Amino acid sequence: MTTQLLNDRYQVIRTLGAGGFGETFLAEDTYMPSKRRCVVKQLRPIQNNPQIYQLVQERFQREAAILEDLGGSTDQIPVLYAYFTSGGQFYLVQEWIEGDTLTAKLQKQGLFSESAITELLVNLLPVLEYVHSKHIVHRDIKPDNIIVRDRDRKSVLIDFGAVRESMGTVVNSQGNPTSSIVIGTPGYMPSEQAAGRPIYSSDLYSLGVTAIYLLTGKQPQQLETDPQTAEIMWRQYASHVNPMIAGIIDKAIAYHPRDRYPSARAMLDALQSIANPIPPTQPHYIQQPSTPTPVVPTPPTIAVNSPANVTAHNRNNLLIGGLIAGGLIGASVIISQVLIKSSQPVADQNITPSIALPTVTPSVTTPLIIPSSVPSPTVPSQVIETPQPIIQSPISTDNSTQSDNYFWLSTRRVTNTDLDGKDGFTLDIMRNSIFARHGRRFDTPGLQDYFNNQPWYNPKYSPKEFPAKLLSKLEQKNVDDIAKYQNTYNLRYFKK
């Protein structure tokens, strides 16, 4: 077998697997200078019938074209290099993924932790979302068909069932081509797929059962089902799992499709809402005590010098800093903005606060509007509390007018002093300004809109095409340090 050449080109190294549909080989491409390794799948029709051979060939070509499209659009599906027919059999040549299947990883390292399962699901669900957007159901998701790639630890989805289904093409009694087989693995496929009617949530079911196997070490057939609901009973074998994560898995493996997540995106959103919870925005109040007392600051506060002059509903963490009153008639009241690091994560830009704060247009002739319950400005620099919502001090809403473009992040190391007191929005802008300066675009609309307003911004690269080598070592270090600071203090504003 080691001397065999397939299609006079692919040198077989060893057999990777064999089954009812054919064999799979690891091979070298002798036409390439690198002798790159690849996977060659030999597929044979289940019926040796010349009358349906043409039908099988047409279906095979169609499925090969789909695999070419899928593998060319995401690096978590193997690239299709070639396909050909020889001796009445069909061959696919695909990218060789160096890594371990989930089955092999379980055997090597033992049961997966809850965090490892969450990471796996968050990594794979976007791939399924993309596959389903192409109106394709994988139909054979299981631990053996997911490889964790060595070079980047990404999960790669292999072995789509549609190609094998084309090998099962037959002609029914009415003379119409159909498939005589059901694609899927017992225990990992839901009832509707076993009946030959797979839907998108069938893949979510299979992914959920895969997660259960990795958490418990038990194959689906080893788990009992509820005699009344037919739901899989697995939680007693994974008591260490957060009930909220377990609830998401339970919803994915619900017996009836209507009880499952309607899409991979819906399941991903549910996971991310647990991993990065965003609590409801709480309004700040100024209360009037019987005897005004100065507020003792908790975290250090600094004066705001931020490019994040956004609309009032995005900035619910600004307090009126101090009131300095002059003794002369007609003296101006100076309002300083004091930024206080919130103990709650900053809400996403799409979440409306429970109280929308009015924006006061700045004007030299317009006096500042202050609630009647706030004491006279003769009180020296104090933050006082009253049951009234605050009135936001005048700020600009034009991001392009900001003078700090953070170019200094390319010339010196960032320090905690640079970061202390800044909110999640400002820190996100600081970190991403390093990429923006080199022409990167952003998937997040809020970030893209902000940098579009900067006169120095010249977008050149999509996020996937951006060459990481454009960043100097200093810039990359600053990106990492800012991100670490944000993670430590839970100061993220944008989701991406």
The parent domain of residue 84 ranges over 5-95
* Pairwise CA distance, residues 176 & 180, whole Å: 12
Tell whether 43 is covered by a domain: yes
Between 138 and 358, whose confidence is greater? 138
Are residues 90 and 45 located together in one domain of the fold? Answer: yes
The count of structural domains within the chain is 3
Between 137 and 22, whose confidence is greater? 137
C-alpha 196 chain-centroid distance: 31
Are residues 13 and 119 located together in one domain of the fold? Answer: no
pLDDT confidence of residue 236 = 94
Token duo for residue 240: 């260490």
Per-chain mean pLDDT for the chain: 77
Indicate which CATH number applies to the domain containing 64.
3.30.200.20
Q: What is the DSSP string of 100-156?
A: EEHHHHHHHH-SPPHHHHHHHHHHHHHHHHHHHHTT------SGGGEEEETTT--EE
Tell whether 421 is covered by a domain: yes
Side chain identity at residue 163, one-letter code:
V
Task: Give the closest residue to 311 by CA, choosing from 346, 363, 360, 354.
Answer: 360
Token duo for residue 321: 């800093």
Q: Which residues are annotated as a binding site?
A: 41
In the annotation, is 140 catalytic? yes
> Would you state the torsion angle of the CA atoms of residues 183, 185, 189, 192, taken in this order, to the nearest 10 degrees?
40
Are residues 34 and 153 located together in one domain of the fold? Answer: no
Are residues 124 and 74 located together in one domain of the fold? Answer: no
Is the Cβ–Cβ distance between 39 and 79 less than 8 Å? no
Question: 186: number of CA atoms within 13 Å, CB side?
Answer: 2
Tell whether 352 is covered by a domain: no
Q: Is the pLDDT of residue 37 over 80?
A: yes
Q: Is the pLDDT of residue 180 over 80?
A: no
Are residues 220 and 72 located together in one domain of the fold? Answer: no
pTM reported for the whole predicted model: 0.56
Percent of the chain whose predicted confidence (pLDDT) is above 70: 70
Catalytic residue among 29, 140, 159, 203: 140
Tell whether 70 is covered by a domain: yes
At 311-361, the pLDDT tens digits run 334 444 433 344 333 443 344 433 344 344 433 333 333 333 333 434 444
E strand spans, 252-306:
285-287, 302-303
- Tell me what the mean pLDDT of segment 14-21 comes to: 83
Are residues 55 and 103 located together in one domain of the fold? Answer: no
- Tell me what the mean pLDDT of segment 167-192 comes to: 77
Are residues 14 and 125 located together in one domain of the fold? Answer: no
Are residues 181 and 193 located together in one domain of the fold? Answer: yes
Please tell me the least confidently modeled range out of 34-38, 220-224, 227-231: 227-231
Among candidate residues 275, 299, 330, the one where a domain is terminated: 275
Are residues 157 and 258 located together in one domain of the fold? Answer: yes
